[in-house]
Structure 1
Amino acid sequence: MVDRTTQDGDGIRTYPFPVDQSVCGVGMQVASMDPGRPWHRAAPVDRVHRIDFHVVMLFTGGPVTHMVDFAEYRMNAGDLLWIRPGQVHRFSRASEYHGIVLTMQPGFLPRATVEAAGLYRYELPPLLHPGPAQLDGLRSALAQLRREYEDTSTLPLSLHTSVLRHSLTAFLLRLAHLAASSAKAAQEQADTTFTRFRDEVEKGFATNHSVSAYADGLGYSRRTLVRAVRAATGETPKGFIDKRVILEAKRLLAHTELPIGRVGAAVGFADAANFSKFFHQHTDTTPAAFRAELR
């Protein structure tokens, strides 16, 4: 098999969508997650990596733990885990995965569907807990999608692909409704102040850790920003910024050979000692110990 993986600037390996292994070469797959089936194929079981496609796992057993962007999530039967392109994740060697997994290549669906389904709303949590009625609808939609995916004899390829897109859209719209129905998700969607702050932090966290600077740049008072961020996330603006800085530092420590001082510089710390102190305050471990634990 040709190795089509790539390494980003931070050294984390990215695995592409295996379109050559899809039925009829379409831009999606539906398969069982049961042990012994090669559903994650070349992706390393115990190493952190990225994917450039969507993965939705519907669990029929548990508990299962899975790491997404250095946060551990625990799933049981009836839960869903949605991993979006570019997110860092790692499989659990200690857990057995049971259920159905859907993978989808970006570009397989039209833009209007992508926007309607919120496929790139990275602020939403990966782990979803549908209620009984929601779960029944999702299971039915996914079962129909799987039947269409595996039926390659009824329709010509062009119509087969069109039907798959429609069936996939039906499932994703249900999934998107579930993701957006929580109070926190609704607050984040509606709160323009927080959304603007979040976007600015994403662009500037490597050099700007100042709440006042973000507030001034956005034209808000510090008090307004504190209220908006706390309502949307339960955190202070400073806590939100620090969490993003720590995530990037973990990525660099885990998947590059950069000296710790240069990792600190990459996330806004000119002094390596200050970076180490900051990292320890937020993780209860040192940068060196964190790196060693993953190697």
Structure 2
Amino acid sequence: MADITTQDGDGIRTYPFPVDLSVCGVGLQVGPMGPGRIWHEDAPLDRVHRIDFHVVMFFNGGPVSHMVDFAEYRPSAGDVLWIRPGQIHRFSRTSEYRGKVLTMQPGFLPRATVEATGLYRYDLPPLLHPDPEQLAGLRASLEQLQREYEDATTLPLSLHTAVLRHSLTAFLLRLGHLAASSAEAARDQADTTFTRFRDAVEQGFATNHSVSAYADALGYSRRTLVRAVRAATGETPKGFIDKRVVLEAKRLLAHTDLPIGRVGAAVGFPDPANFSKFFHQHTDTTPAAFRAELR
């Protein structure tokens, strides 16, 4: 087979949809995941690469470590991983991939179906966690699609392809709905997580400047807290805490006559030198100079 891969300016190779490996050369494949599965005869799956087609993996085991666009995901049994054309990804050399995989060539479905199913919603999460009912529906739909895909003799090729498109559309409508609802649920969770963090900081910033301490108190992992705060504010949890501490220090310096050492102690810095250093780091001025400018 001729090498028709491309290489972008970043040196990452892009592999095309392997039409020659499909039944009847149609624009999709459905089959088991396994160590022998390839996109291309010289594609190193355990190295970073791109593909120009969709990949949907259903996992029967795990967890598996899989990189998509430089983020590591760990799908387990019952999870679905959806990789879209152009995304950079890498298989894990040490993970055992068990389950079923669907690959689909861009252009196999009409534009109206592409829009309805959200095939190019790159804002949606790659890793999906369907509940039991959603998973059962997806699996039944995928099994029907696989039966149609493997039945290459009952119908003429044109009708076989048309039936595949209809079956694939039914499956993708379910998958797209799951992806969109998962993203909405994730946003709601992030909003709730950030709100709880914000309220905790408001109550505790004068004595607690530790991200880990807030995470532990709220029952979140540090990583979950980072994602939620970044989604809500564009900054890190530590940056959010520090900004609140600086705001309170400015208020006390501007509106009270407390000595600077007492101001520092009021926002969690019993050592005046450490407070001055912190304040200067975040404002490019000293507490004394800031107070003098306002009086």
> What TM-score do you get using the length of structure 2 for normalisation?
0.63
Counterparts of 1:236-255 in structure 2, within 5 Å, are 236-237=233-234
Where 1:64 maps in the other structure, the secondary structure is coil
Q: Which position in structure 1 is the counterpart of 2:258?
A: none
- Cα gap change, 1:183 to 1:105, in 2 (>3 Å): closer
Q: Write the deviation string for residues 98-121 of structure 1: whole angstroms up to 9, x where unpaired.
A: 111100000000000000000000
Q: Write the deviation string for residues 221-274 of structure 1: whole angstroms up to 9, x where unpaired.
A: xxxxxxxxx9896243467xxxxxxxxxxxxxxxxxxxxxxxxxxxxxxxxxxx
- Cα gap change, 1:44 to 1:187, in 2 (>3 Å): same
Q: Which position in structure 1 is the counterpart of 2:34?
A: 34
Q: Could you list the runs of 5+ residues in structure 1 that have no partner in the other structure?
A: 189-229, 240-295
Q: CA deviation at 1:12?
A: 1.1
Counterparts of 1:90-239 in structure 2, within 5 Å, are 90-182=90-182, 184=184, 234-237=231-234
Separation in structure 2 between the aligned mates of residue 20 and residue 112 of structure 1, nearest angstrom: 27
Separation in structure 2 between the aligned mates of residue 233 and residue 181 of structure 1, nearest angstrom: 21
Q: Which position in structure 1 is the counterpart of 2:51?
A: 51
> What TM-score do you get using the length of structure 1 for normalisation?
0.63
Separation in structure 2 between the aligned mates of residue 183 and residue 106 of structure 1, nearest angstrom: 23
Separation in structure 1 between the aligned mates of residue 49 and residue 178 of structure 2, nearest angstrom: 27
Q: CA deviation at 1:55?
A: 0.3
Deviant stretches of 4+, over 2 Å: 37-43, 182-188, 230-239
Residue 74 (structure 2) pairs with residue 77 (structure 1)? no
Q: Which position in structure 2 is the counterpart of 1:18?
A: 18
Q: CA deviation at 1:8?
A: 1.4
- CA RMSD, 1 decimal: 2.1
Contact 2:55 2:83 in 1 (8 A): yes
Separation in structure 1 between the aligned mates of residue 234 and residue 8 of structure 2, nearest angstrom: 29
Q: Could you list the runs of 5+ residues in structure 2 that have no partner in the other structure?
A: 189-226, 237-295
Contact 2:15 2:40 in 1 (8 A): no
Q: CA deviation at 1:9?
A: 2.2
Contact 1:187 1:232 in 2 (8 A): no
Contact 1:12 1:50 in 2 (8 A): yes
Letter paired with 2:37: P
Q: Which position in structure 2 is the counterpart of 1:62?
A: 62
Letter paired with 1:135: L
Where 1:139 maps in the other structure, the secondary structure is helix
Separation in structure 2 between the aligned mates of residue 55 and residue 146 of structure 1, nearest angstrom: 15
- Cα gap change, 1:64 to 1:187, in 2 (>3 Å): closer
Where 1:180 maps in the other structure, the secondary structure is helix
Separation in structure 1 between the aligned mates of residue 52 and residue 69 of structure 2, nearest angstrom: 14
Letter paired with 1:139: R
Letter paired with 1:131: D
Q: CA deviation at 1:11?
A: 1.8
Contact 1:180 1:186 in 2 (8 A): no
Separation in structure 2 between the aligned mates of residue 64 and residue 231 of structure 1, nearest angstrom: 24
| Range with bigger deviation, 174-183 or 81-90 | 174-183
| Range with bigger deviation, 5-14 or 139-148 | 5-14
| Higher alpha-carbon Rg | 2
Separation in structure 2 between the aligned mates of residue 56 and residue 183 of structure 1, nearest angstrom: 17
Q: CA deviation at 1:127?
A: 0.1
Contact 1:79 1:130 in 2 (8 A): yes
* Alignment length (residue pairs): 197
Q: Write the deviation string for residues 173-192 of structure 1: whole angstroms up to 9, x where unpaired.
A: 0000100113536869xxxx
